[in-house]
Amino acid sequence: MCSAAVADRKGGGRMYELTEEQKMLQQTVRQLAKEKVEPRAAEIDASGEYPWDMFELLRDNDLLALCFPEELDGAGGDLLTICIAIEELARVCTNTSLILAVCKLGSQPIMLAANDEQLKKYIPPLARGEKQAAFGLTEPGAGSDAAAMSTRAVKKGDKYIINGQKCFITNGGIADTYSIFAKTDESAGVKGISAFIVEKDFPGFEVGKIEHKMGIRGSQTTELIFTDMEVPAENLLGKEGEGFKIAMMTLDRTRPSIGAQAVGIATGALDHAIAYAKERVQFGGPIARLQGIQFMIADMAMQVEAARQLVYYSAALVERAGREASAVSAMAKCFASDVAMKVTVDAVQVLGGYGYMIEYPLERMMRDAKITQIYEGTNQVQRVVIARHLLG
């Protein structure tokens, strides 16, 4: 799928105009989300169980294939196209949107650093939805500080023996294929980190505790435990010591998708706030007539649209590999997730007591929005990335 064209700024309008193909995808996913995903959203959250039916829905409609090139059985979607799909799914169900987002995240290190044999072995099953992927960087003692990771990989003959633990792994235990990061040189800091393709049935691989979370309850988050785990040497991604670079390049390319998820959540919350304001009657008329409510909704709409434009711009910039891509990617994720948190809180306020009740979706959206400020790098880390780019 081709990228969105840059609009002529002299004529005003949006910075990025979607192609006809992207507009068609947007409408298709919006309808699919409304008809198939939204009716399941509350139940997924309440049960806390992984929604296999939603995975199958995305697979059967070739949405997972968007993350991969056509020559590897994918649909060849660019990052903006993927962001559009994630946004529309998140508008009604964050859990379902995360299935697509983690497909991108878990496979991105392989797409970036794999050789031809690795690509042909691992990517087509992911593109066809026969298998799932996950990304394993975070550890109990190494979150934002990747250099502090304690997972070790020692080469012995034609294998690496890995020992250690990962935590907060989205899709842990669900995924078949993992992009795992471990230190091969303890003395080299981040330059001693290497990346590996790990299969869940490798000897020594174990899924640990399943986390119980405030939001995204239908997405399985777990510990991963490696005890003398045997990984074939041929599963090293790139060269030894390139793992941190691969991880950071991955996050540059996936943070816009979290921004898109945040925009979707915020848009869904705004939708509900507008609908409620038109229907709720107080003081002899709908509360939409009250200036206080009008100002809240106007502010919410401005914030959502600003976040959307920044996310779309960042996705296009990442595709072009511009010099500012890393900083703008961080801006998009940071700004959009802050907007999602503010807009969902304000939407709850518009609904008043009803917004606080579980039978309305706003409290779920507010809980789900919070994680977008935390995963794939906290927003404090995003501000560090942005500041370093600006200050040198």
Residues 266-286 have pLDDT tens digits of: 999 999 999 999 999 999 999
231 plus 352 within the same structural domain: no
Averaged pLDDT for residues 81-102: 98
Shared-domain flag, residues 348 and 369: yes
Residues 362 and 257 in one domain: yes
Would you state the pLDDT for residue 386?
Answer: 97
Per DSSP, the three-state class of 183 is strand
- Phi, then psi, of 372 in degrees rounded to 5: -70, -20
Q: Do 259 and 317 form a contact (C-beta atoms < 8 A)?
A: no
Q: Which residue has the tokens 């041929």?
A: 234
Same domain, 19 and 112: yes
Backbone dihedral region for residue 326 (phi beyond 0: left; psi -120 to 50: alpha; all else: beta): alpha
| Beta strands at 159-170 and 5-6: parallel, antiparallel or unpaired | unpaired
In this structure, the answer to whether residues 289 and 348 fall within a common structural domain is: yes
Return the pLDDT at 146. 85
Kindly state the tokens that stand for 297: 């909704």
Residue ranges making up the domain that contains 113: 5-127
Q: How confident is the model over 288-302, as a mean pLDDT?
A: 98
* Mean pLDDT computed over 243-247: 97
- The answer to whether residues 123 and 163 belong to one domain is no
pLDDT for position 143: 87
**In a shared domain, residues 292 and 349:** yes
Whole-prediction pTM: 0.95
Q: Where is the domain boundary, 213, 244, 275?
A: 244
Average pLDDT, the chain: 95
If asked whether residues 175 and 263 sit together in one domain, one would say: no
pLDDT in tens, 15-46: 567 999 999 999 999 999 999 999 999 999 99
Supply the CATH number for residue 229's domain: 2.40.110.10
339 φ, ψ (degrees, to nearest 5): -65, -45
Number of domains in the chain: 3
pLDDT of residue 323: 79
- Whether 230 is catalytic is no
Does 235 score more than 50 pLDDT?
yes
Q: Are residues 220 and 269 in the same domain?
A: no
Spatial separation of the C-alpha atoms in residues 204 and 277, rounded to whole Å:
55
Last residue of a domain, one of 127, 152, 186: 127
Q: Which residues pair with 305 in a beta bridge?
A: none
Of 198 and 321, the one with more pLDDT: 198
Q: Are residues 319 and 266 in the same domain?
A: yes
CATH value at residue 32 = 1.10.540.10
12 pLDDT exceeds 50? no
Pair 382, 375: CB distance under 8 Å:
no
Instruction: Show which of 95, 127, 159 is a domain's final residue.
Output: 127
pLDDT confidence of residue 333:
98
Residues 6+ apart with CB under 8 A from 159: 230, 231, 232, 233
User: Do residue 285 and residue 238 come from a single domain?
Assistant: no
